[in-house]
Structure 1
Amino acid sequence: MLKDILAFVDTGEADEQFLKDALAFARFHDAHLSIAIMSAIPTPDYALAYAPPYIALTDFLKASEEKQERVAKLVARDGVEVRILSDDPAVLLDKAPVQARYADLILFGPAAAYTSQRLRRRLLENVALSSGRPVIVLPDGWQPKVFEHLVLGWNATAEATRALAEARLVAVPGARIEVVTVDADASTKGHGSDPGADIARNLSRHGYAVTVHALASEGRSQAEILTEVARSQRADLLVLGAAAHSRLRELFLGGVTHDLLEGTYVPILFGH
């Protein structure tokens, strides 16, 4: 059961719909919502490139204050906590996962809801990989409902296993789960002799209605395949494990996760 939800925004003005969606999500789950405004202080290089430092800092402070006032006004009736985190961008990347650890679930909006696309992507990556909490990316204007039909991108990794465990916290008992494997080979490790069968058996024992889709990529990306399955099955939630293929975790996510960070028409849950 969700009790604390944290939504991340930046200091731009493109996120009004996401803020409304986050409010609706929290209301639906009868959970407390906190909103963290990530306010990246202009670095000396930025200030030198565009204006004297004192002008850049003045603009930054004004934008941060205006954003905090706007968000507080929008959510005043709901008792939402609004906090602003101002720091060097690199420091914010470390602060965000720490903030996330004190919530049950983290919400991000689609890419279009953020002025700084680079900051959003790196924040999302760091929170997904380092907070230990599930992250859901909401599409614009998504109407909250129970998660009773899920698509699980399954590659038999620890990350996918964790994502599934986190998805079960928000899925209704007996939900339908489409287990999707892509180009999965039978092996003594990982997938076993019949890719997808073992996890389907486990989920079935927990009362879920499970279907396995063992698909070949045939030149398509895994992200494209998973979103196609989610669309064709009219799923409520796409579930993925967030995996890093580099020690520079804030810069690189593995494969399909990286491709879906911008968001899609269905909510996406990233677990790690």
Structure 2
Amino acid sequence: MGYKTILVHVSNLDRSKEILNAAVMMAKIYDAHLIGLFVVPGIHIYPSVSMYIPAEALQSHKKFHLEQAEKIEALFDKTTKSEGISAEWRQEESYLPNISQIVIDNARTADLIILGQADEENDDANLIEVPGDVLMESGRPVLVVPYSGTFKTIGDHVLVGWNGTREASRAAFDALPILKSASQVHLHWAVSVKPDSDDKTLLGTDLAATLARHNVNVSTETNVNPDLSAGDELLSYVTQRGADLLVMGGYGRSRTREFIFGGATKQILNHMIVPVLMSH
């Protein structure tokens, strides 16, 4: 079992090198076919503002993104050919500024999706929603690469966040190819309130036993800290354990509720320090 088709979505030239490096790394490990995807977004028009957009502005917008696509494709081709990876390049155009649906359509037939963390302060509006949209709607595991940092390894030392939910279970099993080859896997009970009973499912004992039968070198740990949110606790443990990958379920409650009240998924997507594999 492994990832044999990997889709990497790249839309930002400045961060393309690290995202492509992560994708090539994963493709080499699993001898996978790598698909590169760039989507040219439509121009953003605010419905509250009635204005005429001249043809020159539309052409300039499209030209900018086509130039970005050409440079990213050249880097993709150079990197995959130098590493001897089976690869293909896809370039599509959206008539809408939100490109998520095109990424989702391409993602649904891949084993693993790789894309970059959204930078809410600097990204175009068309990119900010992509990670969350793909996570929610593609039905595939999503590996998100932070917008800052360099990652020489991904998946050698893994922290798995566990809280007994469907999303956490799916993430753990979607990550199984990585967990089987990892030198260390820590299964961390990621909640801030201790349960009333020693439930083996909730505490991760049963999951650890299942993973061990797959020859995963797994250990379990529980540290209840009511002063930390689940997201903050996971980030803290990533640092303490020196993990190079975090695996967790995404959006165990609705995105709207997380946006309003906060939640572990939003916290991690905004503040990740290592690549994160999420499943919904």
TM-score range, shorter chain: 0.7 to 0.9
Q: TM-score, normalised by structure 1?
A: 0.83
Question: Which residue does the alignment assign to 1:165?
Answer: 173
> 1:83, CA displacement in angstroms?
2.1
Q: Does 1:124 pair with 2:125? A: no
Q: TM-score, normalised by structure 2?
A: 0.80
Provide the C-alpha distance between the structure 2 equivalents of 1:253 and 1:86, rounded to a whole number of angstroms: 35
When the two structures are aligned, how many residues end up with a matched partner?
Answer: 269
Question: Which residue does the alignment assign to 1:228?
Answer: 236
Provide the C-alpha distance between the structure 1 equivalents of 2:40 and 2:121, rounded to a whole number of angstroms: 12
> 1:187, CA displacement in angstroms?
5.5
Please give the secondary structure, in 2, of the residue aligned with 1:235: coil
Q: Does 1:271 pair with 2:279? A: yes
- CA 1:9/1:174 → structure 2, altered by over 3 Å: closer, same or farther? closer
Equivalent residues in 2 for 1:61-210, closer than 5 Å: 61-77=62-78, 78=80, 80-89=87-96, 92-111=99-118, 116=123, 118-139=125-146, 140-144=149-153, 147-173=155-181, 175-181=183-189, 182-186=191-195, 191=199, 195-210=203-218
The answer to whether the 8 A contact 1:128-1:270 is kept is yes
- CA 1:24/1:205 → structure 2, altered by over 3 Å: closer, same or farther? closer
> 1:250, CA displacement in angstroms?
11
Could you list the runs of 5+ residues in structure 2 that have no partner in the other structure? Answer: 82-86
Provide the C-alpha distance between the structure 2 equivalents of 1:227 and 1:131, rounded to a whole number of angstroms: 25
Name the % identity.
27
Provide the C-alpha distance between the structure 2 equivalents of 1:132 and 1:9, rounded to a whole number of angstroms: 19
Please give the secondary structure, in 1, of the residue aligned with 2:251: coil
1:120-142, Cα deviation, whole Å (9 max, x unpaired): 34111111111111111124321
The answer to whether the 8 A contact 1:167-1:239 is kept is yes
The answer to whether the 8 A contact 2:119-2:128 is kept is no
Question: Which residue does the alignment assign to 1:15?
Answer: 15
Provide the C-alpha distance between the structure 1 equivalents of 2:201 and 2:174, rounded to a whole number of angstroms: 26
The answer to whether the 8 A contact 1:138-1:268 is kept is yes
Q: Which amino acid aligns with 1:159?
A: E
Could you list the runs of 5+ residues in structure 1 that have no partner in the other structure? Answer: none
Provide the C-alpha distance between the structure 2 equivalents of 1:34 and 1:119, rounded to a whole number of angstroms: 21
- CA 1:193/1:162 → structure 2, altered by over 3 Å: closer, same or farther? closer
Provide the C-alpha distance between the structure 2 equivalents of 1:209 and 1:36, rounded to a whole number of angstroms: 34
- CA 1:34/1:194 → structure 2, altered by over 3 Å: closer, same or farther? closer
